[in-house]
Amino acid sequence: MIKEFEARFGPILEKKTLGEKKVLYTIMARPEDFPDMVRFLLAGENVRLFTMVGTDERTVEDAFSITYWFADTSKGEILGLRLYVPEDRPVFPSVAQFHKGALWFEREVQDLLGVEAEGLPDRRRLVLPDDWPEGVYPLREDFKYSESPPGEKKYPYVRPPEGSSVHAIGPYHIALDEPAHFRLFVKGEEIVGVDYRGFYSHRGIEKLARGRLNYNQICFIAERICGICGFSHSTVYAQAIEEAAGIEVPERAEYIRTLLLELERLHSHLLWIGVAAHLVGFDTAFMDVWRIRERVMWLAERLTGNRKTYGLVVVGGVRRDLLDYRRELVERELAVLKKEFDNVVEFLLSSRGFIKRCEGVGVLPKEKARAWDVCGPVARASGVDYDVRRDFPYAAYGDLSFEVPLEKEGDVLARAKVRIEEVKQSISLIEQVLDAMPGGSILADFGDIPEGAEGISAVEAPRGENVHYVLTGDRNTLYRWRVKAATYNNLQAVPDMLVGYTIADAPLIIASIDPCYSCTERVQVVDIESGKSRVVRLGVGICL
């Protein structure tokens, strides 16, 4: 990807190398050239839109910057394409006009920075509350993090197709574990269209981190982005800082991170498999899977002191070592878990009721999966052969052997099969980590981190790729932190999965992507000086 792109557009670009197989280009010519560059990149068979970052750089560059990041999964290359947008005309050409996966990115940067994507197909708000005033943009440098300006409540919903009625799931609904609003347009029982409204859980974490918290404090904030895959967020954030600062993490710390990342994948997938069984009415399997999951939660508590939110990752390594007796504990529990899991999977997949409810339901074809840049088990169930652990190795994964499960049917059953096989692969990976655990230090020594350094990193969380971008500031604080969780991609594809199926299928289809709304919407605003939390009113509902 990098070589071909330079050959085509090199003369009008300024290049910056961030790391091995990782570069950033700034466009030095007309903004009108930008869409052609993006089209050229996305035409690559294995190239996907990784993330997009909007930054207020008016104090440095007298402009806003918009950076699209692309990943070539076959070559392990990451390429950034940056465009500077002047304050007096904050407009840039929309990528979402020809690539659906850019839609939420461009709606978000319009909300939070006031930079408009010209030609954006859907100009409605994405992140900001319904009653947020026009012309106030919270990620601009001149906006104080503690402000909550009053405004007029309004939100333009999509009109249902002629002859259809609206069936609402949410914002609060028994089938949803967090606030979300799916407006299903139905004719009889058939779903003919969907309008999604989310971001009821947005908590302003990126603004909170700007210049107020030091690098290690943010590790603990990052882990609280998600109640299930929090460790993956703290790990990927630390990796981005380590890349920006050139910090070499000790090998033993990398192995300990890998062990806990796979324990997290285990308990997350076991939770989902149990929920899937519950949603089809197979509660015997549901309770049995969750009984097995308790072994993993108990192990996590013995290793870190907590069932969840381990508090183990810091920049440069980990805070606690793995003691020998705990290693033996993990080995004993894994042996029991492996046997019990095989039994419950056989029980689950022998149920005709479970198979019939999942097979051929919520199909997402491979071409649509690629168009939305979906990731994780959702992508692999649709035949997209992509796993960050293999394609962009991090922690200890480059030293380990594992298979990436792949299905091609793209339905709920395929997503279940992928997760079931990934549980088995996770057990194998943990066994390998324990066998090959090196000795040595668990924390690197490093000094002040220079201002203006950039880093971007990804991990394969249980739901798919989590991508964090950082731009360092002064006084060992961040200037910009951008978080993109796996559900951010996968949730946008849900309307395509729902159309053509029935209302009764909707809860199962939605749950099949294992959605994490808080992960997607990113973090209660806390006044650090007073210690009090303040909830920003979000129209219909909030989630803390």
Cα–Cα nearest to 80, from 230, 243, 234 = 243
Could you give the CA distance from residue 165 to residue 186 in angstroms, rounded to a whole number?
A: 5
DSSP letters for 34-71: HHHHHHHHHTSTTEEEEEEEEEEEHHHHSEEEEEEEEE
Residue 206 marked ligand-binding: yes
Element (H, E) at 251: helix 251-279
> Taking a C-beta distance cutoff of 8 angstroms, is the pair 472, 453 a contact?
yes
Phi, psi for residue 543 in degrees, rounded to 5: -145, 130
Number of other residues whose CB lies within 10 A of the CB of residue 217: 14
Could you give the CA distance from residue 65 to residue 51 in angstroms, rounded to a whole number?
A: 14
Residue 483 marked ligand-binding: yes
> Which two structure tokens, joined as six digits, stand for 494?
């849900």
> Taking a C-beta distance cutoff of 8 angstroms, is the pair 468, 394 a contact?
no
> Taking a C-beta distance cutoff of 8 angstroms, is the pair 200, 541 a contact?
yes
Strand, helix or coil for residue 501: coil
Looking at residue 282, the DSSP 8-state letter turns out to be -
Residue 519 marked ligand-binding: yes
Amino acid found at 289:
V
> Taking a C-beta distance cutoff of 8 angstroms, is the pair 84, 63 a contact?
yes
Could you give the CA distance from residue 485 to residue 107 in angstroms, rounded to a whole number?
A: 16
> Taking a C-beta distance cutoff of 8 angstroms, is the pair 263, 353 a contact?
no
Please give the sequence-ordered ranges of beta strands (E in DSSP) within 201-257, or none if there are none: none
> Taking a C-beta distance cutoff of 8 angstroms, is the pair 180, 170 a contact?
yes
> Taking a C-beta distance cutoff of 8 angstroms, is the pair 290, 274 a contact?
yes
* C-alpha torsion angle, residues 384, 389, 390, 392 (rounded to 10): 100
> Taking a C-beta distance cutoff of 8 angstroms, is the pair 40, 5 a contact?
yes
Element (H, E) at 419: helix 412-436
Could you give the CA distance from residue 218 to residue 473 in angstroms, rounded to a whole number?
A: 14
> Which two structure tokens, joined as six digits, stand for 299?
């192990």
> Taking a C-beta distance cutoff of 8 angstroms, is the pair 479, 469 a contact?
no
Strand, helix or coil for residue 341: helix
Q: Which residues are annotated as a binding site?
A: 206, 226, 229, 483, 516, 519
Q: Which residues are annotated as a binding site for Mg(2+)?
A: 206, 483
Q: Which residues are annotated as a binding site for Ni(2+)?
A: 226, 229, 516
Q: Which residues are annotated as a binding site for Fe cation?
A: 229, 519
